Each structure stands twice: as C-alpha cells, then as structure tokens.
C-alpha cells in the first residue's frame, strides 16, 4: 500500500457556538477520490479548512506529503490545489487573465497550459469575457480550473458542483476522473450531490455533529445497500438515535 499523502490525526476544532469537529482522523492516498457527506453544519468545511491551513486545530495534527501543516506550511501546501466555500474573483478580469495571475506563482505554466485547462472545464470559448458577466456555474468552472492548473497532487474542493448545470456537472466529473486515473491526483470533495459522489468517489466519510461517524470504500458499502443515499440516510438515523439514548 502506498504511503498516505494526507494524514489527519485526532483533530479537534471547536467554535464559540459549540460547533466544529472533535477527534477526527482520516487518510488519503494517491488516486483517492474521497467524498465528505453530512448535514449542513456537521463540520465538513471545518475539516477542509484545517487541511488547507485556513484555521488551526486546537488539538491533533495534520500533515500533507510528510510535512506538518503548522510547522512547514509552504512545503505542505505546494502540491495542493483547493477551492473552499464560494469562489471569489476579481470581476474586472477575464478567465485567461485570472489564470495568468494564478500561474504567476508557478513559472512552469505556459499559455498553452492555461488554454488547455480552460478547454477542459468548458470555458475556452468565453475566456476573454469579463468574469463579472459569468453565471455562478461558470465561476465554479473557473475555480476548478484554478485549482487543477498547476497539476497538484491533491485537490481539496468544497461544494464544487454548486450552480453547475447537467453539462457542467459531467465536465466536473470527467476532469476529476481523468486526473485521478491518469495522474494519480487525489481529491477530497465535500458535496450534497450524493448521486454524483456515488459515481465519482472511491471512498466516502460521513460527518455528523462534528464527528467522522463512518467511512469506507463505496464499492463495499454498496454491496449491502441499494444506493449511497440509502446508506447515508440509515447512518444518519443511527447517529441521531444514538445521541437520543446517550
């Protein structure tokens, strides 16, 4: 088995309102496509923010590619692409200009690479249009393009299919599958689009009230369940009943 490229060990981060996560541990390896499922406010975005160093854990540890994210942030994050919460852009730029700005930090990225990435996400024909004229779905595509542009080894995505139409969702799925299969890129994706995650993910984890309640390979979980949706609903019901009796 290949070494883990991401290790989160017993991470805890609680906010003043009592929300957050408690004692969460998970690992990702090259080529993993890991889906995070859970109700609103369960702690999914907190997990992703901890992985990207946007917030710090109160206890526990997080390492990327062997580097502790607190002690060696730049080395840990260098092979990582991410999109956390809603995409935010300089609206006066166009898509090509925005990706050139991203590419400034990666000297090896060429103009050809920028155009290829825009084509992969379906934005090549509108690359010269101002971002302020983009729909929500088009901005999501641009955010995905920015995340994968530098050929990262790990991509962290928070609700990446929000606002995407059917064609956009298929484009997103194809980009993730191609990078995972051809380049061994690992993905961790938080989404409410459970049917999409069922088609896309190799592994899933269910987060409920700040805890990672269940995780496993999608293929194994579906052996005893009609769908990932039915498995997810069953696990939430068990968790809620457990809390009532606790």
Architecture of domain 6-87+152-245 in CATH?
3-Layer(aba) Sandwich (3.40)
pTM, to two decimals: 0.92
User: What is the Cα–Cα distance from 182 to 162, expressed in whole angstroms?
Assistant: 26
Q: Tell me what the mean pLDDT of segment 210-223 comes to.
A: 88
> pLDDT per residue over 77-101, tens digit each?
999 999 987 667 888 999 999 999 9
> pLDDT per residue over 187-207, tens digit each?
999 988 888 899 899 999 999
Place of tokens 């024909």: 125
> pLDDT per residue over 101-152, tens digit each?
999 989 899 999 999 999 999 999 999 999 999 999 999 999 999 999 999 9
Token pair belonging to 156 = 């962290």
Percent of the chain with pLDDT over 90: 72
Domain ranges for the chain = 6-87+152-245
User: What is the Cα–Cα distance from 161 to 169, expressed in whole angstroms?
Assistant: 6
Q: Say what the pLDDT of residue 151 is.
A: 95
Place of tokens 């883990």: 4
DSSP β-bridge partners for residue 157: 83, 189
Classify the phi-psi angles of 233: left when phi > 0, otherwise alpha if psi is within -120 to 50, otherwise beta.
Answer: alpha
């Amino acid at each position: 088995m290949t070494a883990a490229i991401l290790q989160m060990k017993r991470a805890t981060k609680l906010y003043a309102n009592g929300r957050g996560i408690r004692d969460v541990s998970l690992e990702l390896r090259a080529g993993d496509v890991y889906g995070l499922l859970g109700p609103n406010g369960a702690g999914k975005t907190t997990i992703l923010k901890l992985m990207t160093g946007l917030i710090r854990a109160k206890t526990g540890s997080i390492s990327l590619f062997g580097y502790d994210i607190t002690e060696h942030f730049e080395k840990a994050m260098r092979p990582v692409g991410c999109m956390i919460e809603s995409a935010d852009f300089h609206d006066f730029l166009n898509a090509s200009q925005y990706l050139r700005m991203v590419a400034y930090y990666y000297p090896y990225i060429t103009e050809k690479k920028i155009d290829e990435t825009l084509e992969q996400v379906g934005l090549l024909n509108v690359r010269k249009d101002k971002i302020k004229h983009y729909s929500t779905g088009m901005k999501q595509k641009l955010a995905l393009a920015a995340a994968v542009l530098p050929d990262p080894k790990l991509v962290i995505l928070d609700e990446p299919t929000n606002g995407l139409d059917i064609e956009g969702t298929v484009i997103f799925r194809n980009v993730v599958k191609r990078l995972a299969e051809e380049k061994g890129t690992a993905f961790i994706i938080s989404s409410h689009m459970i049917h999409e995650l069922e088609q896309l993910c190799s592994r899933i984890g269910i987060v409920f009230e700040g805890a990672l309640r269940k995780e496993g390979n999608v293929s194994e979980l579906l052996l005893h369940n009609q769908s990932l949706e039915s498995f997810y609903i069953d696990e939430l019901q068990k968790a809620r009943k457990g809390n009532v009796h606790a």
